[in-house]
């Protein structure tokens, strides 16, 4: 299962980085591609400071703290995943953890290195390894997001307090392949948690 876990992580990282690098080197910030001409599946190039689904964690120090925290978190999850594999844990459980660690690592790559290897994307298409250097320093890069699914575009009914008449968009957040990998892993953990943790309890009882 170790080889399969490594393969899952490698493939997710590869796909994630190919998509992000293509976006950075072919689109300006804010550019959109309507896939199949639709208004519900849009490639919308945006960047964030490193949290999932476009959320931010303010300031330069906040960005550094977030990046360091995520590196430590990936290290802990990696150790736990290796432990699961050695203990022959449930295969689907291992797949879930592999998806989560791969997604987290994918966004860490952006935060750690994109500021060094790309220039800004505001008024031009970014270049990879620009001669005049990148737009930021190590661990201060921005995470590239692109998938936007505004499946429902409407307005809240006027009778609803506070939000009456306001624009309603679902699903509003713009995300990337790494975010999707984390979300799928967490979703599967929630769905199958009883199955996973019942096995762990039984294993602990047998060892006791």
Active site members: 145, 179
- Give the Cα separation of 84 and 2 in Å (integer): 10
Q: Residue 146 in 3-state DSSP?
A: strand
- Give the Cα separation of 54 and 50 in Å (integer): 8
- Give the Cα separation of 1 and 81 in Å (integer): 11
| Strand bridging mode 42-48 / 167-170 | unpaired
- Give the Cα separation of 24 and 45 in Å (integer): 8
Q: Is the dihedral of CA 74, 75, 79, 82 positive or negative?
A: positive
């Amino acid at each position: 299962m170790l080889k399969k876990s490594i393969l899952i992580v490698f493939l997710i990282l590869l796909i994630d980085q190919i998509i992000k690098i293509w976006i950075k080197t072919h689109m300006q910030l804010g550019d959109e591609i309507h896939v199949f001409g639709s208004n519900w599946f849009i490639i919308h190039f945006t960047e964030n400071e490193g949290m999932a689904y476009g959320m931010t964690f303010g300031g330069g120090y906040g960005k550094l703290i977030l990046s360091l925290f995520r590196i430590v978190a990936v290290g802990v999850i990696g150790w736990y995943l290796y432990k699961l594999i050695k203990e022959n844990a449930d295969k689907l459980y291992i797949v879930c953890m592999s998806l989560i660690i791969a997604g987290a690592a994918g966004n860490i790559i952006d935060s750690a290195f994109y500021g060094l290897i790309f220039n800004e994307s505001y008024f031009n298409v970014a270049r990879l390894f620009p001669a005049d250097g990148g737009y930021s320093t190590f661990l201060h890069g921005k995470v590239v997001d692109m998938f936007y699914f505004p499946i429902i575009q409407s307005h809240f009914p006027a009778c609803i307090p506070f939000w009456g008449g306001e624009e309603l968009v679902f699903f509003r957040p713009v995300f990337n392949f790494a975010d999707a990998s984390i979300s799928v892993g967490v979703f599967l953990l929630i769905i199958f948690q009883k199955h996973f943790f019942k096995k762990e309890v039984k294993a602990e009882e047998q060892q006791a």
